[in-house]
Amino acid sequence: MNLPSRTSSKITKKPTPLLTSMNMSNVCANFHEHVKCVSKGLNLIQEDGKINPEGVKTHIGHIVSDQAKADSIFKECAQDKGSERENTKHLWECLYEKHVFGSSHGHHHSSESSSSSEEHHHH
């Protein structure tokens, strides 16, 4: 029993996730400008180039349901590196490594394997 009209109306209401539609290989040439723009659009980086803690927490919270793990990822990834370029670079690399970004590409199994590396807590 298919109800295509109902399911398609649900899909159209859903906002398109920016990150899943992003093709990394196509943006490498102008990667920093692209990331900077997307980061500001997603409220990850403030206009002054500093990391926006609330925005980062929100995005981690969408992917990571375990609050302790989310806090640990936040502490590691949302460090001020002194410049907009470094902040953006560190934040994105860190969030990719933690599977917050790019998590829709079937990497769900990796959360189990990375749990052992989550043992080191930063206080």
Q: Give the list of residues 6+ apart from residue 72 with CB closer than 8 angstroms, or none.
A: 118, 121, 122
| pLDDT, tens digit (0-9, with 9 covering 90-100), for 4-33 | 555 444 444 455 555 544 555 454 557 778
Q: What is the mean pLDDT of residues 70-90?
A: 96
Cα–Cα nearest to 52, from 62, 43, 61, 64: 43
Asked if the model's pLDDT at residue 107 lies above 50, the reply is no
pLDDT given for residue 22 in this prediction: 52
Place of tokens 């990375």: 114
**Other Cβ atoms closer than 10 A to 98:** 24
7: its two tokens: 């399911």
Cα–Cα nearest to 121, from 86, 77, 69, 79: 69
Cα–Cα nearest to 60, from 27, 91, 106: 91
Q: What is the mean pLDDT of residues 106-113?
A: 39
